[in-house]
Amino acid sequence: MTLAEMLSELYVNEDVGAFERLYLHRAIRRCRGELIFGRDAIRQLALADLAQFSGWRFQINASTEGFADVEWLSPDNLSVRRHYWTKLENGRISADTVITRAPNQEPMRCHHQPLGELDSGKGQVGPADLVGFSVTAQSLHRIWNSRSVSTFRDLYDGNAHWSGPSLEGGVTELKNWWLAQFLAFPQSHIIFERELSFENNLALLWHWARIDTTGHRDRIAGSTCLRLDGGKIIQDVTLTD
Amino acid sequence: MSALGLYGRDIAELLAQQGARRQPMKGFDDIYVDIIDYIIRCTHRIWEEKDIGLIATHYSQDCPIHLMSGDVAGVEGVIAGTLKTLNSFPDRTLVGEAVIWSGNEVVGYHSSHRITSHATHQGDGEFGPATGRSVCFTTIADCLCFENRIVEEWLVRDNAKIARDLGTSAKALGQAQAKVLSAAHSGIADWRAKAMDEVLCQEVPEFSTPSFPDPAQDPEEFAHLVFQQIWNLRRLSRVREVYAPHAHWAGPDARLLFGHGEITGWIGALVSMSKGARIRVDHVGSVTEGPFTDIAVRWSFAGTHDSTGLYGPPSGAPLYILAISHWRTLAGVIVEETTIFDEIALWHQISGGA
């Protein structure tokens, strides 16, 4: 069963009983800075989804083994978008990371002050090159971590569409949003965790550690699904926790 | 013949009839086919099916159980402790996340069993009067098993997370315990002084820069070098050699870390609270789970709380930590870690408890 079929089983057919064969009993979910332990606890979250999105339309925008970009659309055009990143053991999900963009989402709770430095061991010479990821991910690393604003021009098609954590638009809006983040978080560093390439898409899971101008530090998870054409990004969907 | 691991196996499969014995298990009940089956099944039978009396045939009469708050001994104590815990948390479920084993039927099997539990605080007990709150916490039990009986156990539980879920904190409970059992009059408990001496009498390793072996090939050496180099020699930069850049780490009070910077920060904050702190590796076990090599390391930390660090300003208290770490390694590095110790017991020590 593909991830798209799994999610359809849950959210189109509303077959919550399918959890028994979709998830291992000891499955772990990472979401909003916390770990949710066990299939029963994850099933509770799915039930909460079904209650919240009753009457909404569920659609899968992109998916492959290990990743799905899905969306719930309300009758009055509200959208809740979610990225699933899954790990399987013998065909069942043993762990997933879920990142959701929803209107009026409450800020994440953080019980512990983050420790250590944002970019480990680099001091004044960071950031280092990104190893083990695609050329596209390396370009995003240059923009996000080295503030290489000019790279936007090379990486994105001029007519690219961007759907970000709090705004959407074209390349200008995308660039302006990131510029605002660089100013709001003078210290920030993004660490890439996973990358999946499928058809003309590239999906990236990452973690963003940052310190704002008041000294407040946090770390959020983010996920980006890109559509590429001729080596340029023509669509960028970026969600953060 | 060897034990069948947990990788990809659901609880229904784990608790189903297992067929023929997969591992030599002299003296073990016929129902058990390998050491993983023994650990998962007897935990379910005792805790979830509530066959508490089974403890009598699964623990040796004088079994010592080592906790960070002191040792308890004997099967009667295990039965009493289990009943007390179940009185407080009668609906506790114990989801086995890992069983990392070593040994054999001759010298005994050593298992390191990581469990995450959900429960409701429905009865009075060690965490005070019932609150009705839900708790979720991780425990790691290292057990030496011989002829169907656990003959020695080292138990670490994330008591800080239980405290937080119940609306209080490890610090508050540790301070309250220290008032009841203070070190002010007769000093710290003998067991703690002895455990600390055993760790602190180690020779300081000489400065050297050995290469870390592939943990899949030599998990024992890998574990010893991690603690020698990074912890005892304070070479925090070597975190970047043994952890993946995107490593996940989970620790006491459900603290979650990600990546080299945060993991380095946590180790640094812990060792910075004691200038002369020493860390000793007490046991290493490992198993292959799918593409991963999982390693269990039991370790002890001893020192004096003479500097500001993870647990506030210096108190001068002698510190002893009993911890167990589970590492999931892939391609030569740690990609996931769970480290558990009892922060209530640590706050008890910091607050002047015996």
Interval A107-138: pLDDT, tens: 788 889 899 999 999 999 989 999 999 999 99
Based on the domain organization, do B146 and B283 belong to the same domain? no
Interface of B with A (CB under 8 A): 6-12, 93, 95-97, 116, 118, 136, 164, 237, 239-240, 245-246, 248, 250, 253-266, 268-269, 290
A149 and A95 in a common domain:
no
What is the total count of domains within chain B? 2
Give tens-digit pLDDT for B251-277. 999 999 999 999 999 999 999 999 999
The region that residue A215 occupies, defined by phi over 0 for left and psi between -120 and 50 for alpha, beta otherwise, is left
pLDDT of residue B221: 98
Report the gap between the CA of B235 and the closest CA in chain A (Å). Answer: 12
- Does a structural domain hold residue B70? yes
Q: Does A14 touch chain B (CB under 8 A)?
A: no
Running DSSP on this structure, what letter comes out for residue A102?
A: -
Q: Of the candidates A26, A34, A194, which has its C-beta nearest B97's C-beta?
A: A26
Residues B16 and B121 both lie in one domain = yes
Compute the nearest-CA separation of B190 from chain A (Å): 33
What is the ipTM, given to two decimal places? 0.96
Do A145 and A233 lie in one domain? The reply is: yes
Task: Going residue by residue through chain B, which has 354 residues, state the pLDDT in tens, using 9 for 90 and above.
Answer: 689 999 999 999 999 999 999 999 999 999 999 999 999 999 999 999 999 999 999 999 999 999 999 999 999 999 999 999 999 999 999 999 999 999 999 999 999 999 999 999 999 999 999 999 999 999 999 999 999 999 999 999 999 999 999 999 999 999 999 999 999 888 999 999 999 999 999 888 899 999 999 999 999 999 999 999 999 999 999 999 999 999 999 999 999 999 999 999 999 999 999 999 999 999 999 999 999 999 999 999 999 999 999 999 999 999 999 999 999 999 999 999 999 999 999 999 999 999
In a domain? residue A90: yes
Statement to judge: residues B326 and B207 lie in one domain: yes
Q: What is the CATH number of the domain that holds B332?
A: 3.10.450.50
Band of residue A34 on the pLDDT scale cut at 50, 70, 90 = very high
List the structure tokens of A187.
């210290």
Please check whether residue B189 lies inside any domain of the structure.
Answer: yes
Q: How many domains does chain A have?
A: 2
Choose the final residue of a domain: B157, B192, B216.
B157
**Does residue A71 lie in a domain region?**
yes
Contact B262 A115 (CB under 8 A): yes
**Nearest CA-CA distance, residue A96 and chain B, Å:** 13
Q: What is d(CA B51, CA B29) in angstroms, rounded to the nearest whole number?
A: 15
Residue that terminates a domain, selected from B157, B188, B216:
B157
Q: Are B289 and B8 in contact (CB under 8 A)?
A: no
Interface test with A, best of B260, B263, B311 (most A CBs within 10 A): B260
Same domain, A131 and A231: yes
User: What is the span of the domain harbouring residue A152?
Assistant: 123-240
Parent domain of B146: 11-157
B259: nearest CB among A35, A92, A207: A207
Asked if A121 lies within 8 A of B264 by C-beta distance, the reply is yes
Closest CB to B265 among A25, A38, A116: A116
Structural domain contains residue B164: no
The amino acid that residue B263 corresponds to is I
3-state secondary structure of A124: helix
Cα B200 to chain centroid distance, Å, stands at 21
Whether A91 and A154 map to the same domain: the answer is no
- Total residue length of chain B: 354
Instruction: Read off the tokens for B156.
Output: 């670490």
Strands A34-37 and A57-64: unpaired
Q: Say yes or no: A12 and A92 in one domain.
A: yes
B350's tokens: 């910091």
Statement to judge: residues B149 and B188 lie in one domain: no
Same domain, B86 and B145: yes
B26 and B90, same domain (yes or no): yes
Residues B31 and B69 in one domain: yes
Indicate if B340 and B215 belong to the same structural domain.
Answer: yes
- In a domain, residue A173? The reply is yes
The Cα A142–Cα B95 span in angstroms is 42
The shortest C-alpha distance from A122 to chain B (Å) reads 10
Question: For the purposes of burial, counting CB atoms within 10 Å of the CB of A103, is it exposed (0-12), middle (13-18) or buried (19 or more)?
Answer: exposed
Domain CATH code at residue A156: 3.10.450.50
Which chain B residue is nearest to residue A24, measuring alpha carbons? B10
Reduced to 3 states (helix: H, G, I; strand: E, B; else coil), residue B230 is helix
